[in-house]
Amino acid sequence: MPAETFEFQVEARQLLQMMIHSIYSNKDVFLRELISNASDALDKLRLEALRDEAPDADVSDLHIAVETDKEARTLTVRDNGVGMSRDEVVALIGTIANSGTAAFLQELREARDAASAEGLIGQFGVGFYASFMVADEVTLLTRRAGESGGTRWTSGGEGTYTIEDADDLPQGTSVVLKLKPVDAEDQLFDYTSPWKLREIVKRYSDFITWPIRMAAESTGAADGEDGEDGGESAAPEPETVNSMKALWARPKDEVGEGEYHELYKHISHDWNDPLETIRMQAEGTFEYQALLFLPSRAPGDLFSRGHKRGVQLYVKRVFIMDDCEALMPEYLRFVKGVVDAADLSLNVSREILQQDRQIELMRRRLAKKVLSTVKDMMSARPEQYETFWGEFGRVLKEGLLSDFENKDAILAVSSFATTHDAEKPTTLSDYVSRMKDGQEHVYFMTGESRGAIESSPHMEVFRDRGLEVLLLTDPVDEVWVEAVPEFDGKQLRSIAKGEADLGAGDEADDVKAERERQLQEYAELLSWMTKQLADEVKEVRLSTRLTVSPACIVSDTHDVTPALQQMYRAMGQEMPDVKRILEINPGHALVTGLRKAHAERAEDPSVGETAELLHALAILAEGGELADRGRFTKLVAERLERTL
């Protein structure tokens, strides 16, 4: 096929522009990205060979080479891995497959300053395109292992790239960078300096398990910017510059934090440091080592269908698969890392893993370990925990619905917004420690926002009596509260459901007597209203939770809440309408007035209308939708008119 010029996909073009005008300050990371890709390509080829899927491939000396040419100012990163076919080059290099890209770019454009833009890039990780931070032109030469023809891709990063067939290429991929001029201002180093390159490789890619080869330094002393390769004579022998040791296989005290962080970046494609590193080792009948990371920021697609879940699986240091969902429960899908199992077959498939009993045990242990790490974080590093919870709390709470074995552990590391503190969320155990004498339950209310919940009438008596209420505003809260009846022996009670039970066990006799009296007094009005509003509510009763508002709506103890109904409907599930309960406040003048009016002139249509309005007000107070807005407006306007 002749040379063809293509346009970059719009998103890719925008991203490239940003790389060319490099807003990312640490440009050295381009090399880490290229080596990371080369390492992945070698992993893939070895796996194909293990599975007999690449009979014509050469797997005899898999390695990565970093080569420079000072005169031509080029830097080449070469691997003899799996390579790419022409179509793959177009698909993988010319476009950005990540679904979150458009949203990411939007955020990037809106980023207020360079630092936040940099944070975003770091979080997104731009991979191969990072080359354009240091190069004016990038050429990629590649031949898919086992195929004969190769492909040459080249671009200056400005809008288009060219692809043509290329013969006589070795197996694998070479990326040749035509380096920009050295520029002290722009912190562009001389990336043809072997000393500089070695330092970058050691710093970012030491743990890569494939040899990274560079020309040996011919002079011994080479420390400092000027200590460049003095050997202009015969080409020096290549030597391996990385230690190639899998971090999880090295003794714990030998591995520095920075090394863990670089491994994290390699496997997660995140450019930021992780929040926490977890190392585990299991011996015995089923041996494995795990190195897990909690990221410091949630990726944009954590809640979208396409989100990949799980950690990488290795078997005896050999990479087997990415995103191994069998190793992590879904509610821990943000955890990144590596699990290296000694006793699995190299041919193990996803299907087999899903059914394997040992794997299931491993998954349970890993989940427990993650939760106990978060627990430790809470007490030892509260700020870090706060970050974690802010990023991943919403996901973690999904576990309350799926992981019954760890329900208590999940509750123990959860925190919730509370009326006790306007800023700082609380844990359940702190809530319990603050419970008042006689308070039996943990109170909560779900809703769209803190403001909406706080201004709802259901809060009134709780506020009055200084009873703390948890304010649950995540969509998942609507669901898990139905599945979790208690914490630490205390029932979890919605203040918008059932009777307001304020722990009235030792209520004074005079209070009880007063309530009895009111019940008798209102019996007639309540049964009349229940009939009047029968189409809308299942019952009208006296409220013990209102102090200021005339009325509110509550759900029956075991009924589905409107928010949950809505969620199920959004998911396409049929949900019948559930009638709710109208509570009226016998301490409110509108309610006492209505009782009198009903007793005196039950037939007057305006009495019925007032009952109707009371119901409408209760709906509006909780932010609900009126069935007939026109009628409501008309009735209110008529009444206002009379007051003038």
Q: What is the binding site for Mg ion (CB under 5 A)?
A: 37, 127
Q: Which of 63, 94, 128, 282 binds ligand ADP (CB under 6 A)?
A: 128
Pairing of strands 421-427, 415-418: antiparallel
Q: Which is nearer to ligand ADP, 130 or 442 (CB)?
A: 130
* DSSP codes of every residue in 235-267: PPPEEE-S----GGGS-GGGS-HHHHHHHHHHH
**Which of 6-14, 34-42, 103-111, 329-337 is the region at the interface with ligand ADP (rule: CB under 6 A)?**
34-42
399: amino acid identity, one letter: G
Q: Work out whether 150 is an interface residue with ligand ADP (CB under 6 A).
A: no
CB of 130 to ligand ADP, least distance (A): 8
**Which of 79-87, 150-158, 317-325, 457-465 is the region at the interface with ligand ADP (rule: CB under 6 A)?**
79-87
Q: Which is nearer to Mg ion, 41 or 348 (CB)?
A: 41
Q: Work out whether 37 is an interface residue with ligand ADP (CB under 6 A).
A: yes
In the chain, what's the furthest Cα-to-Cα distance?
A: 114
**Of 615, 44, 621, 12, which is closest to residue 320 (Cα–Cα)?**
44
| Residue, CB closest to Mg ion | 127
111-145 as b/e: b if 16+ CB within 10 A: beeeeebbbbbbbbbbbbbbbbbbbebbbbbbbbb
**Positions 227 through 286 that interact with ligand ADP (CB under 6 A):** 269
CB of 117 to ligand ADP, least distance (A): 19
CB of 335 to ligand ADP, least distance (A): 18
CB of 128 to ligand ADP, least distance (A): 3
Residues 19, 136: Cα–Cα separation, whole Å = 11
Residues 179, 74: Cα–Cα separation, whole Å = 6
Q: Which is nearer to Mg ion, 140 or 533 (CB)?
A: 140
Q: Where are the beta strands (DSSP E) in 333-468?
A: 336-341, 415-418, 421-427, 442-446
**Which of 82-90, 176-184, 212-220, 523-531 is the region at the interface with ligand ADP (rule: CB under 6 A)?**
82-90
**How many other CB atoms sit within 10 Å of the CB of residue 438?**
11
Q: Work out whether 82 is an interface residue with ligand ADP (CB under 6 A).
A: yes
CB of 76 to ligand ADP, least distance (A): 12
CB of 143 to ligand ADP, least distance (A): 10
Q: Where are the beta strands (DSSP E) in 449-579?
A: 469-472, 486-487, 490-494, 537-542, 551-554
Q: Work out whether 157 is an interface residue with ligand ADP (CB under 6 A).
A: no
Question: Which partner from the list ligand ADP, Mg ion, none does 399 bind, CB cut-off 5 to 8 Å by kind?
Answer: none
CA-CA-CA-CA torsion for 255, 61, 87, 7, nearest 10 degrees? Answer: 60
Residues 422, 258: Cα–Cα separation, whole Å = 37
Measured CA to CA in angstroms, residue 458 lies from 195, 447, 498, 640 at distances of 69, 12, 11, 27
| Residue found under tokens 């722009």 | 186
**Which of 80-88, 102-110, 382-390, 523-531 is the region at the interface with ligand ADP (rule: CB under 6 A)?**
80-88
Q: Work out whether 35 is an interface residue with ligand ADP (CB under 6 A).
A: no
Pairing of strands 64-69, 415-418: unpaired
Q: Which is nearer to ligand ADP, 38 or 359 (CB)?
A: 38
Q: Which of 23, 50, 59, 92 binds ligand ADP (CB under 6 A)?
A: 92
CB of 315 to ligand ADP, least distance (A): 22
8 Å CB contact between 272 and 263 = no
**Which of 74-82, 112-120, 527-535, 627-635 is the region at the interface with ligand ADP (rule: CB under 6 A)?**
74-82
Q: Which is nearer to ligand ADP, 70 or 308 (CB)?
A: 308
| Residue found under tokens 């944009």 | 300
Q: Is 493 helix (H, G, I), strand (E, B) or coil?
A: strand
Q: Which of 22, 155, 173, 296 binds ligand ADP (CB under 6 A)?
A: 173
Q: 155 has which bridge partners? A: 138
Q: Work out whether 560 is an interface residue with ligand ADP (CB under 6 A).
A: no
Residues 149, 167: Cα–Cα separation, whole Å = 6
**Of 517, 516, 446, which is closest to residue 478 (Cα–Cα)?**
446
Q: Work out whether 84 is an interface residue with ligand ADP (CB under 6 A).
A: yes
Q: Is 369 helix (H, G, I), strand (E, B) or coil?
A: helix
Q: Which of 79, 270, 276, 583 binds ligand ADP (CB under 6 A)?
A: 79
Q: Is 59 helix (H, G, I), strand (E, B) or coil?
A: coil
| Residue, CB closest to ligand ADP | 127
Question: Which partner from the list Mg ion, ligand ADP, none does 157 bind, CB cut-off 5 to 8 Å by kind?
Answer: none
**Positions 329 through 388 that interact with ligand ADP (CB under 6 A):** none
Q: Which is nearer to ligand ADP, 270 or 478 (CB)?
A: 270
- Encoding tokens for residue 29? 């990371």
Residues 190, 68: Cα–Cα separation, whole Å = 11
Residues 65, 38: Cα–Cα separation, whole Å = 9
Q: Which is nearer to Mg ion, 172 or 393 (CB)?
A: 172
- Encoding tokens for residue 326? 């069998």
* DSSP codes of every residue in 291-311: EEEE-SS--TTTTSTT---SE
* Interface with ligand ADP: number of residues (CB under 6 A): 15
Q: Which is nearer to ligand ADP, 76 or 387 (CB)?
A: 76
CB of 618 to Mg ion, least distance (A): 57
Q: Which is nearer to ligand ADP, 79 or 478 (CB)?
A: 79
Question: Which partner from the list ligand ADP, Mg ion, none does 82 bind, CB cut-off 5 to 8 Å by kind?
Answer: ligand ADP
Q: Which of 66, 93, 348, 553 binds ligand ADP (CB under 6 A)?
A: 93
Question: Which partner from the list ligand ADP, Mg ion, none does 41 bind, CB cut-off 5 to 8 Å by kind?
Answer: ligand ADP
Residues 269, 33: Cα–Cα separation, whole Å = 9
Q: Which is nearer to Mg ion, 31 or 367 (CB)?
A: 31
8 Å CB contact between 149 and 87 = no
CB of 135 to ligand ADP, least distance (A): 14
Q: Which is nearer to ligand ADP, 91 or 511 (CB)?
A: 91
Residues 362, 287: Cα–Cα separation, whole Å = 10
Q: How many residues are present in the chain?
A: 644
CB of 197 to Mg ion, least distance (A): 19
Q: Which of 35, 41, 141, 607 binds ligand ADP (CB under 6 A)?
A: 41
Residues 536, 632: Cα–Cα separation, whole Å = 15
8 Å CB contact between 267 and 336 = yes
Q: Which of 38, 62, 65, 135 binds ligand ADP (CB under 6 A)?
A: 38
Residues 433, 295: Cα–Cα separation, whole Å = 32
Question: Which partner from the list ligand ADP, Mg ion, none does 526 bind, CB cut-off 5 to 8 Å by kind?
Answer: none
Binding positions for ligand ADP, rule: CB under 6 A = 33, 37-38, 41, 79, 81-84, 92-93, 127-128, 173, 269
